[in-house]
Chains A and B, each alone.
Chain A
Amino acid sequence: MAAAAAAWRLLAPLLFLLLLSACSTMPTVTGPVEPPLRRYEDLVKPGQPNMLDVKDSVEGFNRGSYRFNYYFDEYLYRPVVRGYEFIMPNYLEDRVSDAIDNLGEITNLTNNLMQFNLKGAGITVSRFVINSTIGVGGLWDQAKKMGLKRQTEDFGLTLGHYGTGSGSYLMLPVLGASNVRDTTGLIADLATSNYLGPVAWINDSTFTFAYSGIYAIDRRHRTPFRYRQTGSPFEYELIRTLYTMKRDFDIEQTKEQK
């Protein structure tokens, strides 16, 4: 139950924000509107698909959330990560990343199994055993040196694998680009790792906090993305399109692997 409660704690504020954010995606009109010189209707044939057109039913909320994430990243998240990078030698940073990846094998395993990707599941188990022993608790990725590549899977991909559509695009506060399917997947994976992962092994709230904190810092440390790096007024659209294309591509991959 703890896991479900944790998932709910994550979801409840989100839903609350969604309700608040019936905020409009329409522009404010300040006078008589004249059509512009270059009109959408003249340049786009009816029914012609465009990859920038991604289903985005709560766009007003998403854009607000994007803006929040920009400030959060700029003034809190990255300064903390920079502090971490300043204190830690690069070598130790990599050890932390490897250890976290090793603990994350639990969701890779469950999702490979759910996709009936037995080979992927086998590799994941072998990797976990090798890295937890020879790799000293996962601090070193020895399995990779032996040619066993990480079989990254998540529940969003599993749902996609079985044909679940992506649903509307979602920009989650703090967590970033997602969609309805992947958010559901994220909650399921969170529940899995709460039941079966490190949080369940050591029943201690200090450990849970420390683990979550380090997990969050390591995740940002490894993500090269910087807000406003595109220098484009359409950064929101570009990320939305590329995120969607990337997840579609990954789902195709899960089907090819079988």
Chain B
Amino acid sequence: MKRLLALTLLLVSFLAVRTAWATPAKSYFYPFVNPYEATVMELPKEFEVRLPDQIPVYEFDVRPFPKRKIPEVFWYEDGLACSLVYQDHKAPLVFLVAGSGSRFDVPRMLKLQKVLYQAGFHVISITSPTHMDFVVNASSGLPGIATDDAKDLYRVMDLAYQKVRGRVEVSEFLLAGYSLGGFDAAFIANLDDREHRFNFTRVLLMNPPVCLYDSVSALDRLLVDNVPGGMDNFDNWFRGVFSQTMHLSEAWSPGGLSGESMYRTYKRMQPSESNLAALIGLTARMNAADMIFTADVMNGGGYIVPKNVRLTSTTSLTRYAIVAYKTSFVDYFEQWLFPHYQKMESGLTREALLRRETLRSLEGYLKGNKKFGLIHNEDDIILVSGDIDYLQRVFDDRAWIFPSGGHMGNMFHPDVVSAITGFLKGKEE
């Protein structure tokens, strides 16, 4: 029955796409039909695009607020690390913004750097404004409001370029980002059109949310709805998943803590759909918790950490961790972010703030603007009903929408890679 259902879904998804849009290559085939599976599983090596083993990389730090005193609890933080991947000749430079909770050097970013290097670009990679390194070193206030995050990102990009401009010859500036980084890119481009520091010629949004609030709510529901017995039973569920994973993974290491490596270990199993969904939700929840706690400490506390309490390098954080992991992005928005912005702008309504957090707020700017390109998947789990049609309408012939691949699972599929590099090179059909 399940197989029949899967086959039917596969056929329907292909048919639906053929009739609606013809942009992706006709040969496109992706082995994972289930969007959760597609999101978690990497494409088998033999289907993936070939990438060079080694590329020239230069890592460096920027300090947007050099006078900022970093709280002792973040003793390991010292400047925001960025990287430059460089060609030995004049070439276009792509600023690449990482997705939610990701550093400039997570595996996906390293691979994307290779894709872009291979296509002839210099690349400066930037950590997401929702990652704790960014919040500590480069956030000017509370992270999570796109227009303000864009200002912080723009400042970092400017400093990063100043730092490397002697090393590279740049012919033009481009901008790209995936997931939340794609969303950020739209707002950065908008800012750049007013400030003209880079004058981006092309901007590529890969798998961005349309409405940030909808996406983070959807991700959190994956966790809350899929832990059997509810969140009160989380410990038991996680212990079960853990021991199943351990049975299969011979080489266990504490390195298996990050989202990406959790996936890697996990995919050796034959996981159930609900476990996969919960795991995706858990990764998102953990990323949000890290950001929220960090933002709280950086802003003097009051949300999770009591005000006037200074955490040191030996302070126990266990209780704060437990509370933070019980806090979703939506809680943060409703209880802290919105009241905070309302205090700064009297008369600001919740709806008005939420509207700013959508690509719809930039519709007039994005629609018909030839410098924008979009890559997405019809079954992306961060989208809600109607989003794909909307994106297709706004980006029109510069939207490459693939029938399957989940949330970025297909990013290194050769067809997706040629859409990425083709658009950035300005050679799109």
Contact = CB atoms under 8 A, between A and B. Distances in A.
Contacts of B296: 36
Contact of B318 (A35, A60, A237): A237
Interface string A1-32: 00000000000000000000001111111111
B243 interface: yes
Contacts of B331: 38
Contacts of B132: 231-233
Given A25-B314, A43-B323, A177-B254, A231 B306 contact: no
Contacts of A53: 318, 322
Interface in B237-258: 238-239, 242-243, 246, 252-258
24 contacts: A24-B314, A28-B309, A28-B312, A29-B309, A29-B310, A30-B309, A34-B308, A36-B296, A38-B335, A44-B323, A50-B322, A67-B75, A229-B258, A230-B257, A231-B103, A232-B286, A233-B74, A233-B290, A233-B317, A234-B317, A235-B257, A237-B318, A246-B246, A249-B246
Contacts of B181: none
Interface in A233-252: 233-239, 242-243, 245-246, 249, 252
A233 B73 contact: yes
Contacts of B75: 67
Contact of B322 (A44, A177, A230, A235): A44
A32 B243 CA distance: 45
A86 interface: no
Contacts of A28: 309-310, 312
A38 B327 contact: yes
Contacts of B294: 233
Contacts of A163: none
Interface of B: 73-76, 101-103, 131-133, 232, 235, 238-239, 242-243, 246, 252-258, 286, 289-290, 293-294, 296-297, 301-327, 331, 335-336
What are the 7 closest A-B residue pairs judged by CB atoms, nearest first? Answer: A31-B308, A25-B316, A224-B255, A234-B321, A28-B310, A225-B255, A63-B314
A70 B314 contact: no
A246 B317 CA distance: 22
A91 interface: no
A141 to B, nearest CB: 14
Contacts of B321: 52, 234, 237
B155 to A, nearest CB: 21
A226 interface: yes
A223 B235 contact: no
Nearest to A32: B308
Interface string A55-67: 0100110011001
A34 B132 CA distance: 25
A75 interface: no
A39 interface: yes
B310 A27 contact: yes
Interface in A150-205: 177
Nearest to A31: B308
Contacts of A29: 308-310
B293 A233 contact: yes
A229 B254 CA distance: 10
Interface of A: 23-40, 43-44, 48-53, 56, 59-60, 63-64, 67, 70, 177, 223-239, 242-243, 245-246, 249, 252
Given A28-B312, A36-B304, A43-B323, A229 B255 contact: yes
A40 B254 contact: no
Contacts of B239: 51, 245
A186 B175 CA distance: 52
Nearest to A42: B323
Contacts of A34: 302, 306-308
A232 B239 CA distance: 21
A242 B307 contact: no
Given A24-B314, A233-B73, A36 B253 contact: no
B319 A36 contact: no
Which of A43, A223, A236: most chain B CB closer than 10 A? A43
Given A37-B335, A224-B255, A231-B131, 17 more contacts: A23-B314, A25-B316, A26-B315, A27-B309, A27-B315, A28-B310, A31-B308, A36-B304, A36-B306, A44-B322, A49-B235, A50-B235, A70-B76, A223-B253, A226-B255, A227-B76, A237-B321
A52 B315 contact: no
A218 to B, nearest CB: 14
B309 A231 contact: no
Nearest to A250: B246
Contact of A27 (B131, B302, B312, B323): B312
Contact of B302 (A36, A48, A177, A233): A36
A29 B2 CA distance: 59
Given A64-B313, A230-B258, A52 B318 contact: yes
Given A36-B306, A38-B303, A51 B335 contact: no
A175 to B, nearest CB: 13
B313 A67 contact: yes
A246 B258 contact: no
A51 B238 contact: yes
B254 A239 contact: yes
Contacts of A56: 316, 318
A39 B319 CA distance: 9
Contacts of A252: 243
A246 B311 contact: no
Given A30-B308, A246-B246, A38 B323 contact: yes
Contacts of A30: 308-310
Contacts of B238: 51
A235 B255 CA distance: 11
B106 to A, nearest CB: 8
Contacts of A43: 322-323, 326
